[in-house]
Amino acid sequence: MTALEGVKVICLGQFYFAPYCSMLMARLGADVIKIESPAGDPYRRLPTLDENGEPLQFRFLNSGKRVMRLDLKAPEGQDVLRKLVRTADVLVQNLSPGAMDRFGLGYEQLSKINPQLVMASGTGFGSFGPYAGEPAMDLTIQARTAIMSTTGFEDGPPVRTGPSVVDFMAGTHLIAGVLAALFQRTRTGRGQHVEVSLQDAILPSLTSNIAGLLSPGAVSRERTGNRHGGMSVAPYNAYPAADGWMTILCPTDTHWQRLCALMDDPATADPRFASMTGRCDHMDTVDALVSGWTRGRTKAELATALKASKIPFAPVVTLPELLDDPHVRARGVLHEATDERGPFTTLGSPLFLSDSPMVEPSRAGRLGEHTDEVLRDELGLTVDEIAKLHETGIV
């Protein structure tokens, strides 16, 4: 059986945060119903489309879910959601701050309908603190949480990270909270409200940077480029190769000694480089030594030597190279499938459980594709009752 077999999940989220959390639950076997506004998730309208004109970002985050169209601004739509909540295990939402309470669908109200409900709320800044209730997106959180000020090079401007690390890290934290709440429910019989904020979820990733700032006598350098965030490991950088770039790091003195043996350069015997502290104090010189060795060798040659010496390394790959990487294909997190409409690519799952198979994701549904099915199977509505909801624009 799958890990979350029989678990019913309602997702009211859009963009990446809550949809990624509920996508992971779908891959673990939960029955996820994604509820969209009459206009649909904004990511249905992005210009990145596949050859069939289908939105790729939406597919990646919502394949394997049933999709339902529902107007939560209307009292009749709110009543439909309340009925769905009666038999749901989890409700995941990252609507605009205060929206659920304005609709009369906050945790206090919904827990009275279903005391076993686990409600998971994704927010920008949480429900308390000076910024509570302020709207936020991945970019704005990166700006306010020092992610941008610590990304890039010292003489350059602040830079956002390439991937949307805030949204996806927050989504991962959110599912962790949901699974903990479901486990506690098996002992108490009660659900609870789980809250994860974008800012809280990304802040721990700054551990090295903050440590470098708080260390007595340390000189704070916010943007360290490809060097260690706390400037406390050397060598630690992306070094030029004859055909690209290679990342190399030596987290211990032993790794440095192995690298010295490979480089076979008398300059590495300088006693200033014997300890990590010394190497960090002379980081520019250390990087110059390593660059001098890597520059005349190909990535393949460097990889062979570094792997044999058990030194941490990785070539810097491009996105096209990543998509063709045999290990990425073997793991299946970037999942390729085929249905009656042809081949498609979506996300698999990074969660591998030895006794719980991943659910094969189906193609993301069209807007409202499963609305009638949900109303009929979950709420027992008749054909006439469903037709009336369509006529009034509630679904």
What are residue 296's DSSP bridge partners?
none
Instruction: Cite the active site residues.
Output: 167
In the structure encoding, which two tokens stand for residue 84, read together? 């769905």
Decide if 51 contacts 350 (C-beta within 8 A).
no
Task: For residues 229 and 146, give the distance between their C-alpha atoms in angstroms, rounded to a whole number.
Answer: 12
Decide if 67 contacts 38 (C-beta within 8 A).
no
Q: What is the maximum alpha-carbon separation in the chain? A: 86
342 in helix, strand or coil?
A: strand
What are residue 33's DSSP bridge partners?
10, 66
Instruction: Of 362, 370, 363, 365, give the one whose Cα is nearest residue 70.
Output: 370
Q: Which residue has the tokens 């939560």?
A: 72
Decide if 23 contacts 359 (C-beta within 8 A).
no
CA 158 to chain centre: 22
Phi, psi of 169 (to 5 degrees): -65, -40
The total of other beta-carbon atoms located within 10 Å of residue 65's CB is 24
Q: What is the DSSP string of 180-248?
A: HHHHHHHHHS---EEEEEHHHHHGGGGHHHHHHHHSTTPPP-S--TTS-TTS-SSSEEEEEETTEEEEE
Cα angle vertex 357, ends 185, 84, to 5°? 45
